[in-house]
Amino acid sequence: MRILLLFLFSLPVILNAQINRSANELARENVKDYIVTTIFKHLAYIPISYSELKSHQQPKMDIAWSMSHQFEIVDSQFVSDKKVAVRKPYYFSFYLDKKLKVVAAESFYRQ
């Protein structure tokens, strides 16, 4: 009986954690698609780290969430007549609407 009561009390916490996890995964997929299809077309993309979704309210814009993301883009350059792959790190803040679609992106430099 105690186990059943404990389970019933912990069920809302477990369900809320799963919803947050699913929302983070959906936001990460949408951010990746935005990077690959809009910002850096036809370049290799290597994700490094994502932050968690943060509630972000702006009164005149359709922004409900924000997320920062660190990644690398592999670009080929010619160095002394040889094609060399160069990895460039990027740091972006992405702003998402209520449906977790990317509304805006902002790049910033960090050492």
Work out the average pLDDT over 3-32.
74
Whether 55 and 64 have beta carbons less than 8 Å apart is answered as: yes
Query: What is the per-residue pLDDT for 30?
Result: 92
pLDDT (tens digit per residue) in 61-111? 788 889 999 999 888 888 787 888 888 899 999 999 888 899 989 987 655
Question: Domain residues for 69?
Answer: 2-107
Number of domains in the chain: 1
Beta strands per DSSP E along the chain: 44-50, 54-55, 65-79, 82-96, 102-107
23 vs 7, more confident: 23
